[in-house]
Every structure is written in C-alpha cells, then in structure tokens.
Amino acid sequence: MADNPNEPSFEAAFNQLQEMVQRLEAGNLPLDETTRLYEEGMRMAQVCNQLLNAAEQRIVQLHDSYADVQRPAPEDGDGGGEESDEGEDGDDDEEEPGASRPL
C-alpha cells in the first residue's frame, strides 16, 4: 500500500508501466507521444522501485525484531561463540602425543 494517497499502489504502478511498455514496443506512436510515455514510464518505474524498497525495509525490520525475540540468551561466561580448539592466543590447543603441559 502506498503511503501517499496520491501515489498508486505497487500493483497499479506496475500494471501502468507494463501497458506503457507494450505501447512503446508496438512502435506506431508519434515522437511526442513516445517521449511522453517514456517519461511517464520512468516515473512509474521509480515509484515501483521506491515501493519495493520500502517493503523490503519493512520486511527486514520485522525479521530483525522477530529474530531478537527468538534469539536465546547467552549462557554465563559463554560469550555466545562456538567452541573452538584454539586457546586465547589463537594457537591450536590440541595436545600432541607425548607432549607435556605445564601445571
């Protein structure tokens, strides 16, 4: 749905754009009509693009707010990361056979 009541809905703008493209592709229009239709078509394409961007933004906001609700709380001292064989220094902490570790 368009925010501005004077702006068409996405579907209406897209249908108008399709009709303009069909008329332009037919190729039997005078130059001034062709130019006018092209200009109006570009405006309709811009309206469609703005409406799609607004819808995408709204979907991302809804997705993010839903994801925040569904995200489990981090466990104490966990930090939320996955387990790793690397220690704090970034080296692989797996013991090699026969190696001794300081106490």
Q: Do the beta carbons of residue 28 and residue 77 sit within 8 Å?
A: no
13, HSE (Cβ side, Cα atoms, 13 Å): 20
Neighbour count for residue 13 (Cβ, 10 Å)? 21
pLDDT in tens, 7-23: 789 999 999 999 999 99
Q: Residue 98, by phi and psi: left (phi above 0), alpha (psi -120 to 50) or beta?
A: left
Please state the rounded mean pLDDT for residues 19-35: 95
Domains of the chain, by residue range, sit at 10-70
At 44, list the tokens.
């309709």
pLDDT in tens, 59-84: 999 998 887 776 666 776 655 555 55
pLDDT above 60 (res 92): no
- Among 20-34, 68-82, 83-97, name the one with the lowest average pLDDT: 83-97
